[in-house]
Amino acid sequence: MKMQRFIDRSYDLLTMRPVYHAIFWLVLFLMLVYLGDAGARGWWFVMSNELIGLFFFAVLVYFNLFYLIPNYLAKNVLLYIGLVMAACAIVTPIKILVLYLKFTGRPEEQENLVMMQGWWYVGSFLVTILSTFLRVVTDWWRYQQEKQILQTQTIQSELRFLKSQINPHFLFNTLNNLYALTLKKSDKAPEIVLKLSEIMRYMLYECNEKRVLLTKEIHYIHNYLDLERLRQPSGADITFTTEGQISEQLIAPLIFVPFLENSFKHGLNHHMHGGGYVRLHLKVEGEHLEFRIENSKAEQLPRLDHPTSGGIGLVNVRQRLKILYPDHYQLSVEDEPNRYAVTLNLQLN
């Protein structure tokens, strides 16, 4: 954790514009001093020469960065290159003149300077074009970073929206059940309140993480099924079995809720005289999880005097899975006249 924090802070520091500009000029200065044969010509002589050269390079580079690139590069590349060459043709002779005057008393250095003025021009042009290349790369990199941040924010917002559709819907259904039992003065009402409090505690305080322990999600499913058992006819067959190692696995919270809700809403709730079933099986092998839920379908659907609130549907489920487990899930549906089954395979890691 400390190492990661150090890396993050170092990264933030190095990506600050003044810092990487300073590094660029320092590296260029050291290269020029090394190439200037300081050992034979004298360290101070070479370093002072390169500091002068660096000043004129900076004039070209920042003229390029702040004027030429914003105004000409994207509009007309040939015109841009021509203006760079013209700028170098103006600045380079001034730099040569300054160095020529500095070399007073050193005729050999002055003669060499005049003979090499073509290479001085080429060097100015290359440094200016190098700054263009670095500007393009850094702008592209910054765009990619901003794009990634925007995508992450969009995904997080979408996930919050999808998840927000789950919690109120289930709470609404459960409160309806509780209301029906209290009207009947049923002894089951206190037990429903207790189960509901555990479920809401899980939703409010533990489901804000990207991943939760699979054991907690399984406990949530048990509470959900217990609530359904309390309100279903005595003949309803509701089972949930698990297989494999489930003590240390992590999973996205509330990922199974839509399947549970739909199995009761569109299946077991329509059996007017009992006899229906909802069967769940969860199997874990290493990092692979298989969740299967199957429910019976009534031969005749009862007529509803009042429309029920809509479920969140498989579209929501697939969208959430696509975000949370991209290319690491398989969802298959079996819709037959008397049964409905969903199988979800997840790669947890």
| pLDDT, position 125 | 93
Percentage, residues of the chain above pLDDT 90:
23
For β-strands 339-347 and 288-296, DSSP reports them as antiparallel
Mean pLDDT of 190-210: 78
Distance CA 103, CA 105 (A): 6
φ/ψ of 310, rounded to 5, equals: -75, 145
182 compared with 295, residue with greater pLDDT: 295
| pLDDT, position 304 | 42
The residue behind tokens 């409010």 is: 204
| pLDDT, position 8 | 63
**Which domains occur in the chain, in start order?**
2-147 (no CATH), 235-347 (3.30.565.10)
Query: Computed from CA positions of residues 155, 221, 286, 346, in that sequence, does the dihedral angle turn out positive or negative?
Result: negative
Q: What is the DSSP letter of 339?
A: E
Is residue 163 over pLDDT 60? Answer: no
pTM above 0.75, yes or no: no
Mean pLDDT of 29-33: 78
Is residue 328 over pLDDT 80? Answer: yes
Averaged pLDDT score across all residues of the chain: 80
Segment of 157-166, 204-213, 262-271, 317-326 carrying the highest mean pLDDT:
317-326
Can you read off the two tokens belonging to residue 281?
A: 């099986």
Beta-sheet strand order (sheet of 288-296): 237-244, 277-285, 288-296, 339-347, 329-335
Mean pLDDT of 183-198: 77
Contact status, residue 96 vs residue 120, Cβ threshold 8 Å: yes
Is residue 101 over pLDDT 60? Answer: yes
Is residue 191 over pLDDT 50? Answer: yes
